[in-house]
A = this chain, B = another copy of it.
């Protein structure tokens, strides 16, 4: 079955609503690697990624970093601060130069009441993200590291606009993303290369399209 790809919020909005939403927010720019917010912080509001990408994760008790995921431009985050009254659930930092609009809870609620299509777009985005998260959790339990790595690369090719070209990624980033060690990632990548499914470069990997 086709994997479910998450749908970013912004392209789902009409131009009017999109402009109103961004205008209602306070836009900040972050440089690569810069902290956006920390797990546990309390300001409720919706954050929207205008350009760039945001990496989410937690530092475990042992100090190791666990990456939860990366959201691309067009996505929003912080829904749980609005709908579940919880503080930010993850540490967030910018992945590349990144601009983010922050909409306060009152302004968000005003917009939601005003434009019913906004709620619909949120429902679509949240639903696709939920089912993607469920699929990722399934894969963690059912698939070998090798299969998970291949799937991650396919996802990146799909969402990142890297189609036809090499994916710029380090092996250690794959390890972070999948919760594996760098050694396991290296082994699996070499196995995939031997199978003719990928091509390995320095800080980049190319998928070799095989029609099965």
**Which residues on A are within 8 Å of B, measured CB to CB?**
1-2, 4, 7, 39-40, 58, 60, 64, 66, 68-69, 79-80, 82-84, 86-87, 89, 112-113, 116, 119-120, 122-124, 126-131, 133-138, 140-142, 178-179
A163 CB to closest chain B CB (Å) equals: 21
Question: Which of B40, B137, B142 makes the CB contact (< 8 A) with A133?
Answer: B137
Chain B residues in 8 Å Cβ range of A69: 134
In the complex, chain B residues whose CB is within 8 Å of the CB of A64 = 142
In whole angstroms, what is the CA distance A86 to B2 when docked?
9
CB of A138 within 8 A of CB of B68, answer: yes
* A contacts with B: majority SS: helix
Nearest Cβ distance between residue A46 and chain B, in whole angstroms? 11
Q: Are A83 and B178 in contact (CB under 8 A)?
A: no
Q: Which residues of B contact A119 (CB under 8 A)?
A: 116, 119-120, 123
